[in-house]
Structure formats: C-alpha cells, structure tokens
Amino acid sequence: MVYWDGSLPLEQRQSIQAFQRDEEPKILEFRRRLAEAGGGGAWEARIFGSEINKETDHSSGDEQPAWELVGQVVAGPYVPVPEVEKIGRELLSETYPEYQLGSDKGGVRQLSWSDPVNGGFLYVTVHEGKATLMRYQTGLRPSDGTTANPRDFIPGRVDIDIPEK
C-alpha cells in the first residue's frame, strides 16, 4: 500500500466507476478554469491518455482485486499560484479535502490536493511565468460492477483526455 491508496477498507472506498462519473467532471472544469485564468491558452498532452490499471490490494491482509486510474499529464498556460489555489478551493475541496503548497524551488511550485480516505491525488506544478502542468491519479479502488471490465472507461465519460500531437 502506498500513501495515496486511502485509509478506508477497499470495499468502502469510492469505486473506480464513481470516480469517473462524479469526480472527473470537476477535474475537467478545474482545468478549463485554469486555462481561462491563463488567458485562454490551450492545454497539451504530455503523455498519451488516461488508463485504468489492475492492481492487488493487500490492506485487509487478503489479496483483493483493485483498480487505479492514472490521468493524463497535461501542460497549459501559466497561472499564478494564488489563482490556482482559489480555483482549487472552489472546485476540488470535496474530491480532495487535503491541500499542500510546496516550497518555491527556483520558480517552480507544486500544489498538491489529496483524498486520504478514498485515496488519490491531483498535482499542479507551476513554472513561474512559463507554464502550468497537471496530473491526477486515484489510489486503489474497488469496482461497482457498472462496467463489465473495470479497466474499461464508463460509457459517457467526460472528454478529459487531450489527443497527443
């Protein structure tokens, strides 16, 4: 188990499908609002799209099948840290109740939102005056059975992945 897997027993955590239905639309809106705050610049893919990986959870002492959604890494326009924090408070507080601002490392700051109960995180890295990068990942999650294969994205999933150039 890693720190972002969550403190709840696996079967009590939000499912991998519910994360796609309920949380990814908020993440997409967060990204849209950051682009708007950055002057309307476009986001670009840094890696090919999101994926759901099959994992094994050992937190109960037994092996249980689990799934982890790894979101696409994207880069967008520069947005000042205070503005990223403001938009994050408005849109991410329910999904990721814990927030931490990393120290300034030569004009680069990482903002971290996390969910210690269900697991998962969203990182924003701000390169002062240059760019804003974003990535998110769930911790290990159960399946609620709404997709035959939990590695498949749900029907109607928000269009969150950006095509690679």
> pTM for the complete prediction?
0.94
The DSSP secondary-structure symbol of 160 reads -
Is 151 domain-assigned? no
Residue span of the structural domain in which 56 resides: 3-137
Q: How many domains does the chain have?
A: 1
Is 125 domain-assigned? yes
pLDDT at residue 3 greater than cutoff 80: no
| Confidence label for 47 from pLDDT (cuts 50, 70 and 90) | confident
User: What is residue 78's predicted lDDT score, i.e. its pLDDT?
Assistant: 98
Residue 120: count of CB within 10 angstroms of its CB: 27
Is 54 domain-assigned? yes
Q: What is the DSSP string of 49-62?
A: --EEEEEEE-TTSS
Is 142 domain-assigned? no
pLDDT at residue 68 greater than cutoff 90: yes
Percent of the chain with pLDDT over 90: 88
Is 152 domain-assigned? no
Is 147 domain-assigned? no
Beta bridge partners of residue 20, listed in sequence order? none
Is 50 domain-assigned? yes
CATH code, domain carrying 34: 3.30.2030.30
Look at 146 and 5; give whichever has higher pLDDT: 146
| Least confident stretch, 6-10, 25-29, 56-60, 144-148 | 56-60
Mean pLDDT of 88-92: 98
Percent of the chain with pLDDT over 70: 98
Over the chain, what is the mean pLDDT? 94
Residue 17, H or E segment = helix 16-18
Is 27 domain-assigned? yes
pLDDT at residue 1 greater than cutoff 60: no
Residue 76 φ then ψ, to 5°: -140, -170
Mean pLDDT of 71-84: 97
pLDDT at residue 5 greater than cutoff 90: no
